[in-house]
């Protein structure tokens, strides 16, 4: 590796990681543009965890924990055994899609290809006035005003020469940047590239048939939503992205790709304006429609009967920076269990992220003397926050949501890098940046004075304004009005 790990800082390693992810195509003879689509952009999301892991692997003693938790590599995509039969099915699927599209009441439709819960309210509202189209298998298709369509089947196998060329280009380009992927990731990357090529080809087929007025997405920087953006750009179909969460990662979430972007607050607006290479046609602060039902508190709420810890995902495939480690979740849990053992009346409720490793947490809890005071909950975060005396949040949207309830927030951040969310910098949360600091903060919660609580409350109000926007109950109206203007152009 050309980059010296011994002589670098944590920030240097994270920056080195990002430059390698972005610049590998400059150091290979392979052209990443295929059929007018730049796959150096589309493959970035597959490299986040892999390039970061290649740097973490330079410390074998710490990397062993992560290595045993890597998921088995998916089998390569194999051609359908009966190519003629599959070809007939593919042709029939294309005809079925054409029939569904032909029956739409108008061709000026809004296409919502990917379901996400944060889009539900917006989609339902827009469907009252516009033709909103969604794939038949989408959760949105259950809404009575939505027009579901059948999609054409993708090819049964990708163009293997394109797969091998792109795979070779990434591997050799990264090596020139000083990065050598571990063998597990070399194999997985090839499989992901094959899926990417197949899915992007299918997306171009469905968009070419449908030709919607615009495409609405919940994100625009990872597979498969990013393929809709780049294919839409190629076909001249505008894309709209509405923010679905906070910026909980350094680097990886700084790039915008969609033509029109609706953000919650000025924080995301400024981040895109200063750091994104692609600048949207329109970038607008609208707030979060899901927060229309919430109102910022008028004072801190010191009541509650348990500590609530909402985790971020610590699975290896979700550790995007070299400075992040899958061990962080267990290390935070051990610190919380130690604090519990010192405070016999305290209880802990854990709300794990859907992508976090619950079995690993549970096995750790089962071995601890305080296990009878720990509950792993599947309830929604918002139903758990009101009865919490404190919310322990990592770099997560949950920390912000807890502030709508006036709860004391402790920011648990055990990575060596700086926290992404400035909860503590805003004086909106108490720090928990090491095991000892987290334990001490929790043990001293009862000693938080009224003056300190007022300071936290003021910081939370500032953070809510900058990161969630104007919480006036009108965010849905602003978002839908923005989309309506685009559809009526």
Q: Which of 99-108, 184-193, 234-243 has the lowest mean pLDDT?
A: 99-108
In this prediction, residue 6 carries a pLDDT of 53
Eight-state DSSP code of residue 424? T
pLDDT tens figures, 255-272: 999 999 999 999 999 999
**CA distance linking residue 296 with residue 307, whole number of Å:** 21
Short-list 43, 327, 359, CA closest to 185:
43
The whole-number average pLDDT for the span 421-437 is 97
Q: Which two tokens stand for residue 147?
A: 């027009």
Short-list 425, 424, 426, 396, CA closest to 410:
424
143 or 188, greater pLDDT: 188
Residue 79 clears pLDDT 80, i.e. is over it: no
In this prediction, residue 239 carries a pLDDT of 98
For the chain, the C-alpha Rg in angstroms (whole number) is 24
pLDDT tens figures, 145-156: 999 999 998 888
Eight-state DSSP code of residue 467? H
- What are 60-64's contacts with CB under 8 Å, separation 24+? 62/325, 62/327
The whole-number average pLDDT for the span 56-71 is 92
Confidence of residue 76 (pLDDT cuts 50, 70, 90): low
* Bond from prior residue into 224 cis (ω within 30 degrees of 0): yes
pLDDT tens figures, 298-352: 999 999 999 999 999 999 999 999 999 999 999 999 999 999 999 999 999 999 9
User: Is the pTM higher than 0.85?
Assistant: yes
């Amino acid at each position: 590796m050309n980059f010296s790990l011994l002589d670098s800082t944590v920030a240097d390693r994270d920056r080195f990681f990002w430059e390698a992810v972005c610049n590998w195509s400059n150091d290979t003879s392979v052209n990443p543009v295929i059929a007018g689509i730049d796959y150096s952009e589309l493959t970035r999301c597959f490299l986040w965890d892999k390039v970061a892991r290649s740097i973490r692997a330079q410390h074998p003693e710490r990397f062993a924990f992560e290595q045993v938790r890597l998921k088995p590599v998916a089998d390569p995509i194999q051609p359908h055994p009966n190519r003629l039969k599959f070809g007939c099915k593919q042709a029939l699927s294309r005809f079925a899609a054409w029939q569904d599209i032909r029956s739409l009441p108008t061709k000026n439709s809004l296409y919502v290809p990917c379901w996400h819960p944060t889009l539900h309210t917006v989609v339902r509202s827009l469907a009252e006035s516009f033709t909103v189209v969604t794939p038949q298998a989408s959760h949105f298709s259950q809404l009575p005003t939505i027009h579901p369509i059948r999609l054409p089947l993708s090819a049964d196998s990708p163009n293997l020469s394109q797969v091998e060329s792109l795979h070779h280009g990434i591997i050799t380009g990264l090596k020139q940047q000083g990065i050598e992927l571990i063998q597990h990731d070399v194999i997985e990357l090839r499989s992901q590239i094959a899926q990417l090529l197949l899915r992007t080809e299918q997306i171009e087929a469905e968009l070419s048939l449908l030709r919607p007025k615009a495409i609405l997405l919940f994100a625009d920087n990872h597979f498969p939503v990013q393929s809709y953006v780049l294919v839409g750009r190629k076909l001249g179909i505008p894309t709209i992205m509405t923010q679905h969460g906070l910026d909980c990662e350094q680097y990886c979430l700084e790039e915008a790709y969609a033509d029109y972007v609706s953000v919650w607050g000025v924080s995301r607006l400024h981040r895109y304006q200063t750091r994104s290479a692609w600048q949207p046609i329109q970038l607008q602060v609208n707030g979060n429609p899901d927060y229309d039902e919430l109102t910022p508190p008028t004072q801190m709420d010191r009541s509650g009967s348990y500590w609530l810890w909402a985790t971020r995902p610590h699975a290896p495939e979700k550790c995007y920076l070299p400075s992040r480690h899958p061990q962080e979740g267990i290390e935070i849990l051990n610190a919380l269990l130690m604090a519990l053992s010192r405070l016999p009346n305290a209880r802990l409720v854990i709300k794990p992220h859907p992508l976090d490793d619950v079995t690993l947490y549970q096995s750790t809890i089962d071995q601890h003397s305080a296990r009878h005071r720990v509950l792993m909950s599947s309830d929604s975060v918002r139903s758990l926050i009101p009865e919490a005396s404190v919310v322990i949040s990592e770099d997560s949207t949950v920390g912000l949501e807890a502030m709508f309830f006036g709860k004391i927030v402790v920011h648990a951040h055990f990575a060596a890098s700086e926290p992404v969310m400035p909860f503590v910098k805003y004086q909106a949360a108490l720090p928990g940046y090491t095991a000892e600091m987290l334990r001490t903060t929790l043990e001293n919660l009862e000693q938080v004075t009224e003056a300190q609580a007022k300071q936290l409350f003021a910081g939370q109000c500032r953070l809510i304004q900058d990161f969630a926007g104007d919480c006036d109950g009108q965010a849905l109206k602003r978002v839908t009005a923005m989309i309506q203007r685009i559809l009526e152009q």
